[in-house]
Amino acid sequence: MTTILSSPPPLRTQSADRRVTVQRRKRKKALQHTVVIALLSTWTVFALAPIVWIVMMSLKVPEDIVTYPPKFLFTPTLANYADIFTGTQFLTPFINSIIVTLGALLLTLVVGLPTAYALARFNFKGRESIAFSILSLRFAPELLIILPLYLLFQKVGLYDNYLGLILAYQLVTLPMLVWMLRSFIEDLPVELEEAVSVDGGTRWTAFRHVIFRLIAPGLGASLMLSFIFAWNSYTLPLVLSGRKTQVITTGIQQYISFQSIEWGPMAAATVVSMVPGTLFAIFALRWIVGGLTAGTVKG
């Protein structure tokens, strides 16, 4: 745009002049695209290199892993994966993680969905303070609640117990789900429910047949995000789970905190622990950004 404005009209014919500017602009555009792609590629290499490296490591035999300089060409093996899925060292935390995470999600759904609906649809006294208190659970440093819980749980027998962990995980999952669902429901016009009530339906009918169906994708995405948060959570199980209920994040650490480090199985376990997040990134990401930026971004 500036090139057109700044170049004074030369003596050449207008069409030839125009061709030159178009060409110049095209070349400039192409250069810009090249620079942008180069920069993005650089970052992508930085972002992916560690992941690629750990995946490669998980496919190596022990001798190939510890060589220096590192080996980039090797015969891949699945022995590490076979190893972690046959012993209990990985399998127990893996199954525990699934139990605790799914349990926590179920409880969050039962508690969070009605709450999110009420916060989005009714105007009642104390609404904002309740909403803020729930959100502030996420702001509190985890240990502030967990250290006292640690002693409390030991007294009442919830320490190293699935139920105890599921209850504690609400600290992570509930604020996320309520906050996001609330914004999804608020985005739906109230007229939807009014139309149902004109036709003689109750609020419950409206919720079941209209609202629920419309928020289903958002609900699915919020549940998946809560799943990731719970799955990734570390501080809670570090303090509240013992030998019996160890989860995947604390379990993986066991591979490197002992004297002899089992690199291969550690890498394989790491790769398996990445699976839920990767699936999420592929299938549900676009739903999340809208929920997180609720009220700040239009369109």
Partner 1 sequence: MRHKPHLPYLLVLPALAFLAAILYPFLTGACWSFTSYRLSRGDPVFNWGENYVRLFTSGEGLHAVTITLTYAVTVVVIECVLGLGLAMLLNYGRYGNAFRLLNVLPLMLPPVVAAIMWKVMLTENWVVNWLIESTGNAKLAWLSGPDTALLSVMLIDVWIFTPFVVLLGQAGLRSVPQELREASSVDGAGPIRNFVSVTLPMLMPVLVVIIAFRGIDSLKMFDIIYTTTAGGPVDATTNLHVLAYLDGIRNLNFGMAMAALIVLWLLVYLMSHFLLKARRKDAVS
Site for partner 1 in 78-107 (CB under 8 A): none
Least distance between partner 1 and beta carbon 66 (Å) = 9
Which residue lies nearer to partner 1 by CB, 20 or 281?
281
Using CB under 8 A as the binding criterion, the count of chain residues that bind partner 1 stands at 96
Q: Within 206-235, which residues bind partner 1 (CB under 8 A)?
A: 206, 228, 231-232, 234-235
278 in contact with partner 1 (CB under 8 A): yes
Which of 127, 208, 209, 213: binder of partner 1 (CB under 8 A)? 127
Of the candidates 104, 179, 110, 106, the one whose C-alpha atom is nearest the C-alpha of residue 139 is: 179
- Contact status, residue 174 vs residue 134, Cβ threshold 8 Å: yes
31 binds partner 1 (CB under 8 A): no
Candidate residues 252, 262, 264, 265; the one interacting with partner 1 per rule CB under 8 A: 252
Residue 240, judged by CB atoms within 10 A of its CB (0-12, 13-18, 19+), counts as buried
Q: Which of 223, 188, 185, 215 is nearest to 109 (CA)?
A: 223
Collapse the DSSP code of 245 into the 3-class scheme (helix H, G, I; strand E, B; otherwise coil) and give the result. Answer: coil
Q: Which of residues 37-76 bind partner 1 (CB under 8 A)?
A: 37, 39-40, 43-44, 46-48, 50-51, 53-54, 57, 68-70
Taking CB under 8 A as the criterion, the residue among 110, 208, 217, 242 binding partner 1 is 110
Write down the least CB distance from residue 215 to partner 1, Å: 15
Residue 63: closest CA among 83, 77, 49: 77
Tally: H helices and E strands in the chain? 15, 0
The tokens of 287 are what? 């739903």
